[in-house]
Amino acid sequence: MELKIGLEGVAIAETKITCVDGEHGRLIFRGYYITELVKEKTYEEVVFLILNGQFPSAAELKTLDETLKKNRALPEHIKSILKALPKNTLAMQAIRTAVSALQVSGEPWPPTQAQALEIFAKIPTIITYFYNTQRGAAITEPCNDLSHAANYLYMLHGKQASAAHVKALETYFMLSIDHGMNASTFTARVVAATQENMVGAITAAISALDGPLHGGAPSKVADMLHDIGTAENAEPWIRAQLEAGKRLMGFGHRVYKTYDPRALALKAVTQEFASDNNPLFKLALYVEEVALKLLEEYKPGRKLYTNLEYWTAGVLRTVQLPEALYTPTFCLSRVAGWSANIIEQSENNRLIRPGAIYVGKDPH
Ligand code: ACO
């Protein structure tokens, strides 16, 4: 058996969903470049595309929209679970717990798009219900006049967000909807391949996403910028990190060996919103420049560039999301991609069962 630690360079499935071209920095959803999708399509259209492989007709888009709106409200038992969680529960733990307790319609196997949409529609409500309950704020029920992203911001802040903020968040959602065989998507497929149901597969994917090397980085990027504080401190701070063998959050990627195209698109969105003299944006631009220079100096040839998570922090801060909700918001956007992968796995299923090479003691 060949040893491939981290499964690098190993394909576990054929897919028609997403192509990640790491060498050239290109990302394709169902045959369309994401750079084009974010300019021309709405988030709901891209959700339909990811799940169905084609753009919706007007009637299909209306049905998707109505299905999502109809499924936003939380059942009473989920509200009770969220209210009963200890005060120090983190939002990702709360989402994982609530999702694992959801009941969806239909048979457990094979997983269906209807089940996926029932879960997907509720994630923003779970996040905002938990967050507002935990800090003793008023609960804002879902508003069915608003899109998925607009309703999320509305439930979070208790008032409608500006069109510009909704557009920024939708851009982020579209860019992070799916990304090849990353750890959480792989987890979703491994679990689905055992013929576990949609709820179980998505619950497992949420756990995988929560780790700091995957979805847990954006709030760490915010922490890093906060710690650095000033442009003068950027170089000594980054040098000290690299000298100590620590990683810079928001840089490096297993697949991209060039600038992450999603980061580039988000940097453009952040730039659109940040006025020229916005101190945080200026600091983020400068820290990025210094970090790329020092990564090349300390890690020559490793091809470490900016990843999605670096500029995610900029967009999420712009739309006034609290840092505690950065990873949950990433999770919210990924559910549609996980669902597409779970359904694709079920359509041509084979149990995923790699081996391991035993290097322990021989029996006595
Ligand atoms: N800062 C400093 N050094 C780094 C970084 C970084 N961010 N990323 C990789 N390196 C170094 C490693 O120390 C290693 O150096 P070595 O050859 O001297 O041992 C070399 O680059 C290769 O690192 P690997 O761990 O093999 O790279 P891998 O492909 O496994 O890592 C990962 C990818 C986990 C994303 C990594 O780059 C990292 O930890 N980045 C910081 C966390 C982060 O930004 N996560 C978000 C990822 S994007 C997403 O999930 C949407």
pLDDT one-digit tens code per residue, 301-325: 999 999 988 998 888 888 899 989 9
The residue whose C-alpha atom lies closest to atom 27 belonging to ligand 1 is 254
Question: Who contacts 280 (Cβ-Cβ below 8 Å, separation ≥6)?
Answer: 225, 274, 314, 317
Residue 140's pLDDT band, with cuts at 50, 70 and 90, is: very high
Please report how the helices 279-298 and 218-228 are oriented relative to each other, as an axis angle in degrees rounded to 10: 100
Which atom in ligand 1 lies closest to the alpha carbon of residue 250? 44
Give, for ligand 1, the residue of 219, 253, 306, 310 to mutate: max count of ligand atoms closer than 8 Å to Cβ: 253
110-132 pLDDT, tens digit each: 999 999 999 999 999 999 999 99
How large is the average pLDDT for residues 252-281? 83
With a CB cutoff of 8 Å and minimum separation 6, the contacts of 192 are 111, 198, 201, 341, 342, 345, 346, 349
Predicted local confidence at residue 278, as pLDDT? 73
Active site positions, annotated: 253, 309
- The whole-number average pLDDT for the span 260-285 is 82
Measure 250 CA to ligand 1 centroid, in angstroms. 9
Q: Does residue 256 register a pLDDT over 80?
A: yes
pLDDT category of residue 205 using cuts at 50, 70 and 90: very high
How do residues 47-77 score in pLDDT, each as one tens digit?
Answer: 999 999 999 999 999 999 999 999 999 999 9
pLDDT of residue 276 exceeding 60, the answer is no
Measure the CA–CA gap between 95 and 98, rounded to whole angstroms. Answer: 5
For ligand 1, whether the C-beta of 143 sits within 6 Å is: no
Mutate to test the pocket of ligand 1, among 177, 179, 223, 251 (most ligand atoms within 8 A of CB): 251
- Beta carbon of 308 within 6 Å of any ligand 1 atom: yes
Backbone angles phi, psi at 263, to 5 degrees: -65, -40
Residue 88 has pLDDT above 70, yes or no: yes
Whole-Å CA distances, 353 to 41, 111, 189, 234, 345: 38, 20, 12, 45, 14
Mutate which of 213, 242, 266, 310 to test ligand 1's pocket (most atoms within 8 Å of Cβ)?
A: 213
249 lines ligand 1 (CB under 6 A): yes
Pick the atom of ligand 1 nearest to 215's CA. 50
- Taking residues 242-271, what's their average pLDDT? 91
How many whole angstroms from 246 Cα to the centroid of ligand 1? Answer: 10
The pLDDT tens digits for 150-196 are 999 999 999 999 998 999 999 999 999 999 999 999 999 999 999 99
pLDDT above 90 covers a percentage of the chain that reads 83
Q: Kindly indicate the confidence band of residue 11, based on its pLDDT and cuts at 50, 70 and 90.
A: very high
Domains of the chain by start residue, with CATH: 217-318 (1.10.230.10)
- Cβ 155 vs Cβ 76: under 8 Å: no
Residue with CA closest to ligand 1 atom 30: 254
pTM: 0.89
Give the pLDDT score at 268. 86
Query: Atom 20, ligand 1: which residue's CA is nearest?
Result: 302
Ligand 1 center from residue 2 Cα (angstroms): 24
